[in-house]
Amino acid sequence: MRASAHLGSEKAVEMTEVNGRLVEGVVANLPMFRQASRAHLADVTRHARAVHAPRGEIVCRRNDPMPGLYAVAFGLVKLSLGDDPGDEKVLRLVGPGETFGEAVAFLERPCPVNATALTDTLLVMIPSGPLFALIERDARFARSLIASLSQRMHALVADVEASALRTGLQRVAAYLESLTEPGPALGSANVRLPATKTVIAARLGVTKETFSRLLRELSDLGLVEVTRRDIALLDRDRLAAVARGAARAAAEA
Amino acid sequence: MRASAHLGSEKAVEMTEVNGRLVEGVVANLPMFRQASRAHLADVTRHARAVHAPRGEIVCRRNDPMPGLYAVAFGLVKLSLGDDPGDEKVLRLVGPGETFGEAVAFLERPCPVNATALTDTLLVMIPSGPLFALIERDARFARSLIASLSQRMHALVADVEASALRTGLQRVAAYLESLTEPGPALGSANVRLPATKTVIAARLGVTKETFSRLLRELSDLGLVEVTRRDIALLDRDRLAAVARGAARAAAEA
DNA sequence: CGGAATGTTGATTATATTCAACTGTTGTGG
DNA sequence: CCACAACAGTTGAATATAATCAACATTCCG
């Protein structure tokens, strides 16, 4: 950044401007900042910086210090627990327009998860400092932030519930349902897994072997058709029934 | 409450005053309100009300509307998932000075958990309205609230991690360790389970039968001695080793 | 094209659940 | 205060669910 002043080329300046606009665009579209004024937004974007992470790069290692919260501009980030890859639990997959690290940024604690870019990813990092300042000045922002944390919490609780008292088959069925567009459940739909089956398996709390077998089970029941990462949901009613626990009923129907 | 004016007895007035002081005392000692001014505190306590729940009473049923957040004055509340008792997952046990329902109060969504009083319990319910108002007026409160939500989140993530990649034995060992006073691990310590073994088992994500067997296993290893709800931790070093995954090492040592 | 990563399938095993029978504890009303 | 019913906990045997191990097939990229 500082170097660009020395180089002084129009291209470098242009790049900086482009970065600035990009950062601003990404930040302005976060739910958390939708209600913020232009001035407050500017204060935040001034301190934010873009971070590029090529596929496979670890954005944030477990126990690293967390400088602030991250927003995904494009790409996909995997938040996972557990050191050994191959025996990890994927907490969440973070896509464009989503954020991670809020809860950690405000506790000034080390990062509790590993964050890995699954594809080429552009992130915007917003340091904690300006966020704290904005909480002071804009109550609406504080409210949005609280709402954001609360929703995240809800999702986590739902996950805990699923892991604790649903079988693998139920979780897979529910997950496939969740990939469809929100709206009335039509007869069929096509979805695409957002990551490799190994990663999705870890997201669902099963091994890749088990995930493979469960998909085959749904396939044998005639509920889905799997073609690589593309999955056709052939009978959403029965799929939903399986998700709710009526495995036998679905098989008999 | 309104009736007390009509009855006009000194006793009724005294009771109201006692309730008022009690509510005030409980609210003032919540971490969330420690930094609030007297005036702000008064605004909140004015709208708060004490709720008594005898042992076994369901404070809040799954999918009920949530009027606000609850603070425990005395007693113990179980937050659990799953309809059928006997196959439930206990998310958290909430003791004196702790709160629950923040995340839900701010989303105006129905309650995602069942809240049951495990012993005679006194709660203070703080409606969402005054809380929203306080967020507007006191940024420090907003900050405390965010910190509170973040910590809750952290704890949940830690739980997810434990459930996902630790065995039952490891979780039991870690839980027993967590019941000791924070501080350096001395050679031995005595702890008391805060609830029945059935409830603690559900808290740890195992059945009561499995919990019983795991405690016996630790007992056979000479790491603990169980007398009803009282457990003597005989060798905290090896217990910690078991918690970290060195089951075999502990057995051999 | 070739090697690494990803995914599938089968056989075996580990972990914890379920079912069932029994014992101990607690709290309550006669 | 005791009897007794409801609850809490223990133990054993059989079972279920998913993990692990191992071999192989496929796909993705460089």
Q: How far is B7 from chain A (nearest CA, A)?
A: 42
Burial of A232 (0-12, 13-18, 19+ CB in 10 A): middle
By C-alpha distance, the chain A residue nearest B166 is: A82
Confidence of residue B2 (pLDDT cuts 50, 70, 90): very low
Q: How far is the CA of B238 from the C1' of C26 (A)?
A: 35
CA of A207 to C1' of D20 (A): 10
- pLDDT score for A9: 44
**D17 C1': nearest CA residue:** A167
| CA nearest to B106 within chain A | A147
pLDDT score of B22: 85
- Write phi, then psi, for A71 (nearest 5 degrees): -115, 140
Q: Which of B160, B37, B147, B25 is nearest to B89 (CA)?
A: B160
pLDDT, residue A150, reads 97
> Which chain D positions have some atom within 7 A of a protein CB?
8-13, 17-22, 27-28, 30
pLDDT, one tens digit per residue, over B179-221 is 998 777 677 899 999 999 999 999 999 999 999 999 999 999 9
Q: Residues B122, B128, B130, CA angle at the centre, nearest 5°?
A: 100
The share of chain B scoring above pLDDT 70, in percent, equals 89
- Structure confidence at residue A181 (pLDDT): 84
Helix (H) or strand (E) holding A135: helix A128-137
Nearest Cα to A246, choosing from A213, A171, A238?
Answer: A238
pTM recorded for the entire structure:
0.89
pLDDT along chain A (253 residues), means of 10: 42 59 91 91 93 94 94 97 87 97 93 96 96 94 95 97 96 96 80 97 97 97 96 95 74 46
Residue B18's pLDDT is 62
Domain ranges of chain B: 2-157, 166-252
DSSP letter string, chain B: -THHHHH--HHHHHHHHHHHHHHHHHHHTSGGGTT--HHHHHHHHHH-EEEEE-TT-EEE-TT----EEEEEEES-EEEEE-SSTTS-EEEEEE-TT-EE-HHHHTTT---SSEEEESSSEEEEEEEHHHHHHHHHH-HHHHHHHHHHHHHHHHHHHHHHHHHHHS-HHHHHHHHHHHTSPSS---S-EEEE-SS-HHHHHHHTTS-HHHHHHHHHHHHHTTSEEEETTEEEES-HHHHHHHHTT-HHHHHH-
CB contact under 8 A, B146 and A151: no
Question: Backbone dihedral region of B126: left (phi > 0), alpha (psi from -120 to 50 degrees) or beta?
Answer: beta
State the pLDDT at residue B7: 39
Is pLDDT at B41 greater than 70 in this prediction? yes
> Phi/psi at B71 (nearest 5 deg)?
-120, 140
Same-fold call for B2-157 versus B166-252: no
Query: Residue A6 belongs to what H/E stretch?
Result: helix A2-7
Do residues B74 and B95 touch, judged by C-beta distance below 8 A? no
- Residue B78, min C-alpha distance to chain A (Å): 15
| Predicted pLDDT at B219 | 96
Beta strands in chain A (DSSP E): 49-53, 58-60, 68-74, 77-81, 89-94, 99-100, 114-117, 121-127, 189-192, 224-227, 230-233
B81 touches chain A (CB under 8 A): yes
Q: Which nucleotide is nearest to A85 (CA to C1')?
A: C5
Under 8 Å between Cβ of B70 and B124: yes
Contacts of A35 (CB under 8 A, 6+ apart): A140, A141, A144
| CB nearest to B139's CB, from A103, A135, A149 | A135
What pLDDT, on the 0 to 100 scale, is given for residue B10? 47
Cα–Cα distance between B221 and B238 in angstroms, integer? 10
Q: Spell out which residues of chain A touch residue B139, defining contact as CB-CB under 8 Å.
A: 135-137, 139, 142
Structure-block tokens of residue A208: 């890749």
Q: Look at residue B48 in the predicted model and tell me its pLDDT.
A: 95
Going by C-beta distance under 8 Å and a sequence separation of 6 or more, which residues neighbour residue A104? Answer: A66, A110, A111, A112, B150, B154
- pLDDT at residue number A212: 98
B11-22 per-position pLDDT tens digit? 445 556 667 788
- How far is residue A41's CA from residue A29's CA, in Å, rounded to a whole number? 11
Q: Reply yes or no on domain A166-252 having CATH 1.10.10.10.
A: yes
**A83 close contact with B: CB closer than 8 A:** no
Per residue in B134-147, pLDDT tens?
999 999 999 999 99
Of B206, B240, B4, B209, nearest to B89 by C-alpha is B206
> What is the reported pLDDT for A3?
40
CA–CA distance, A28 with A47 (Å, rounded to integer): 14
The matching CATH number, chosen from 3.40.50.720, 2.60.120.10, 1.10.10.60, 3.40.50.1220, for B2-157 is 2.60.120.10
pLDDT mean across residues, chain B: 89
Instruction: Give the residue from B148, B153, B154 with the most A CB atoms within 10 Å of its CB, the best one to mutate.
Output: B153
Question: Quick check: A79 and A100 in contact, CB under 8 A?
Answer: yes
Q: How far apart are CA A220 and CA B44, in angstroms?
A: 58
